[in-house]
C-alpha cells in the first residue's frame, strides 16, 4: 500500500484572523484575508501537528542551487537550501518543489522539518510556521514511509499571482510596501517511488505567501489551506 507524505488536500490547517495585515491575502472562500492597507497570508493554526511543536532550525546562509546533485547536509538531509533570489514567482516555484520532494531513505523526520524551516521568513510577526509544518506527517508515519524507502520528486509547471491578489494590488499598489508579501499559486506534478518498484504520480497545486523585500532574498511566509485561482 502506498503511503503519501503530501496528499492533495494536505494535512489542512485553518487560519484564524488574529495575524492579518492587508494586501497579500486573497479573499477567496476564507483562504486569504484582506484588512486595511497591507494584506498578507496570516493566521495561526488551531490544528497544529504534534510533530511540529518544536522543530529543529537551520539558519545558516544559503547559496543559489546549481541544479546538480548535492550531498545531503547533516542537519537538513536531502532538503535543498532556499535559493538566494528576489523574484516572488521563482522563489514560490522553488518552495513548492521543496515541499513536494522528500527522501525518507536519507532524511529523518527532524531533518525534514529543519530543512523546511530554513526557508521561512525571519520576521516572526509574519511567518506562519504552523501552516508549513502541517504539510509533514507525524514521526510514526514518516517511519513507516522510511520502511518502504519512499521518496518523491517534483516537476513544476508554472507559478502565477492569483486573480484576487492582482486585483488587490491594482486597487492599492503602495500597500505591498508594508511587508512585501506576495501570494503565488504554483502547479506541478509529484512523482513518488517506494520499495519493490512501486511508483505513482499526481498533479499538485498550492498557494503560498512569500516575502521578497527589496534588495533581499525571498523567504516563505505561509501556505494557504486551499488553492486560490
Give the pLDDT confidence score for residue 76 in this predicted structure.
83
**Residue-by-residue pLDDT tens, the chain, 229 positions:** 444 443 333 333 333 433 333 334 433 333 343 322 233 333 333 333 333 333 333 333 333 333 333 344 458 889 999 999 999 999 999 999 999 999 999 999 999 999 999 999 999 999 999 999 999 999 999 999 999 999 999 999 999 999 999 998 899 888 899 899 999 999 999 999 999 889 999 999 999 999 999 999 999 999 998 999 9
SS3 state at 166: helix
DSSP string of 1-59?
----SS-TT-S--PBPSTT--SSS---STTSS---TT-------BSS--GGGSS-----
Give the pLDDT confidence score for residue 193 in this predicted structure.
96
SS3 state at 88: helix
Give the pLDDT confidence score for residue 175 in this predicted structure.
87
Give the pLDDT confidence score for residue 18 in this predicted structure.
39
Q: C-alpha distances in angstroms, 134 versus 9, 38, 75, 82, 185?
A: 11, 26, 20, 19, 18
Amino acid at each position: 500500500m502506498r503511503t503519501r507524505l503530501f496528499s492533495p488536500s494536505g494535512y489542512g490547517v485553518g487560519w484564524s484572523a488574529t495575524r492579518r495585515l492587508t494586501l497579500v491575502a486573497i479573499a477567496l472562500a476564507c483562504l486569504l484575508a484582506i484588512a486595511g492597507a497591507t494584506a498578507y497570508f496570516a493566521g495561526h493554526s488551531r490544528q497544529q501537528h504534534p510533530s511540529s511543536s518544536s522543530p529543529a532550525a537551520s539558519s545558516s546562509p544559503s547559496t543559489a542551487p546549481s541544479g546538480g546533485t548535492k550531498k545531503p547536509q547533516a542537519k537538513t538531509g536531502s532538503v535543498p537550501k532556499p535559493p538566494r533570489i528576489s523574484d516572488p514567482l521563482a522563489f514560490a516555484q522553488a518552495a513548492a518543489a521543496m515541499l513536494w520532494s522528500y527522501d525518507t531513505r536519507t532524511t529523518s523526520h527532524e531533518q525534514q522539518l529543519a530543512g523546511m524551516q530554513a526557508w521561512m521568513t525571519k520576521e516572526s510577526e509574519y511567518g506562519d510556521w504552523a501552516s508549513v509544518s502541517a504539510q509533514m506527517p507525524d514521526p510514526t508515519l514518516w517511519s513507516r514511509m522510511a520502511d518502504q524507502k519512499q521518496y518523491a520528486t517534483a516537476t513544476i509547471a508554472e507559478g502565477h499571482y492569483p486573480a484576487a491578489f492582482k486585483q488587490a494590488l491594482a486597487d492599492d499598489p503602495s500597500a505591498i510596501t508594508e511587508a512585501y508579501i506576495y501570494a503565488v499559486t504554483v502547479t506541478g506534478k509529484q512523482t513518488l517511488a517506494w520499495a519493490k518498484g512501486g511508483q505513482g504520480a499526481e498533479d499538485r497545486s498550492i498557494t503560498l505567501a512569500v516575502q521578497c523585500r527589496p534588495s533581499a532574498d525571498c523567504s516563505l511566509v505561509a501556505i494557504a489551506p486551499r488553492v486560490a485561482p
